[in-house]
Amino acid sequence: MMDIVHPMDAPLFKGMTSTPDMREIFQADAFVQAWLDVEAALAEAQAEIGMIPAEAAKVIRAKADVRLIDIKKVQEHGKETAHTLLGVLREYRLNIGEPHQTWLHYGATTQDILDSATMLTVARAHVVIERQLDDVIAVLLSLMETHRDTLMVARSHGNHALPFTFGLKVAGWLDEMDRNRDRWRELKARCLVGNMSGAIGTYAAWGEQGVEVQNRTCRILGLGAPRTWWHAQRDRLAEMTNAMSLIAGTSARIAQEIYISCMTEIGELAEAYTKDTIGSSTMPHKLNPIGSEWVRSLASIVRGNADVMAELMTPLNERDGSVWRAEWVKVPETFCLAAAMLAQLHKVLSGLNVNRDRMLENLNQLKGVLLSERVMFVLAKAMPLGVAHEVVHQVSLKALEAKRPMLDLLLADARVSDVCDLTELTEALKPENYTGLSGVVVDALARAVREAEG
């Protein structure tokens, strides 16, 4: 029997709840390796300013390899000491040996190492999410331009509203996701910072060289240096998970739109189908939008985790392990689930089937009533707008009730036929004549996205 609890590690589900590159970043050995990388960077920074021997830093770096750490012994140490890092340090020092082991972890506190290691790991994960956003945006851009002029019905409050284009609908998805990418990029400088400030943030063990030790360590790690110690400042991690929550919100909205459009009664969109896909164990005909469902499921957890991370912004005094340890669960989980969510979204969008014929069928379902606004403005040339609204409202209700073409009832109403002829009304009731600036908006957004990408 496999000792597995979380679906991200279960053979049946890990392919749907995480991605290989994100799993590699957050797998257990990689996390310990990040601790060792931080310790090595600290030693190198201290050696640069003459605080420890240069040879010691070289040995500490050479032995910064998780494969040299006996994890079973670390676990045994943990049971004895109830300390997270100490067991690793014991094994690390044994590998370094005399006389250099005394310079390992010189003046640092556990949270310096673990927080910096967390940010080092998160920085790598940040790159993955940004790359996935790039990929999703590229697919959305292509989809938008391909369907710049594909007519469909716009819906408000769940009902038919006016004609527009599928390209404009996708533009709404693209514009929102592009803002998510902007936010994701912007938080890099603000959030991806290390911390190397000693037991309580005073740099006391390093004297006047303390800030220099921190700055050099962060530089070696490729992280920013904070202005103050952040053992109790957890807003950076909360902001990053909140940014992923916004990405999840957009992803879920797109997936929901696709899901609804896949419904039999609508049928305007469909997820890619392969001959081996099975939608139901008992209904052989079913072809379900599984990808969209996965996006929505994963997005809900990502958004929920952002709430948890906001709760973790309240450590007690200068340090509190209850906050710290909860992050070890939520940060890897959120990044892995977000990566899986974006992978699923990209797959759905890349294989999306757009049924233009069904879009036209739905567009004409109300037999012209969809163009009531356009007819109202035509009538408003000959009567007050309020009167025109009332006339068209009355005619629209009759047309819907009788299930007759709007044009027939308009021509049969003297209030209309006295001021409009057949040609004018016919043109007003053509959906392709009332999509406004849909194409212009699509073109402008496409240019803006491309220009921002350079």
C-alpha separations of 410 from 257, 280, 401, 415, 435 in Å: 34, 48, 14, 9, 22
Q: What is the DSSP string of 146-198?
A: HTTT-EEEEEETTEEEEEEEHHHHHHHHHHHHHHHHHHHHHHHHHH-B-----
Closest to 196 measured CA to CA, from 230, 222, 232 = 230
Q: Which one is catalytic: 160, 231, 280, 372?
A: 280
Question: What is the token pair recorded at 253?
Answer: 């909205």
State phi, psi for 270 to the nearest 5 degrees: -155, 140
Task: Check: CB of residue 341 under 8 Å from CB of residue 298.
Answer: yes
Characterize the bridge pairing of strands 269-270 and 353-354.
antiparallel
Query: What are the residues whose beta carbons fall under 8 Å from the beta carbon of 372, sequence distance 6 or more?
Result: 392, 393, 396, 406
Q: Which one is catalytic: 77, 100, 157, 346?
A: 157
State phi, psi for 196 to the nearest 5 degrees: -145, 85
Establish whether 438 is a catalytic residue.
Answer: no
* 3: exposed, middle or buried (Cβ count in 10 Å: 0-12, 13-18, 19+): exposed
- The one-letter code for the residue type at 159 is N
Establish whether 417 is a catalytic residue.
Answer: no
State phi, psi for 353 to the nearest 5 degrees: -95, 125
Closest to 391 measured CA to CA, from 371, 414, 423 = 414
Angle at which helices 210-221 and 110-146 cross, to 10°: 40
List active site positions. Answer: 157, 280
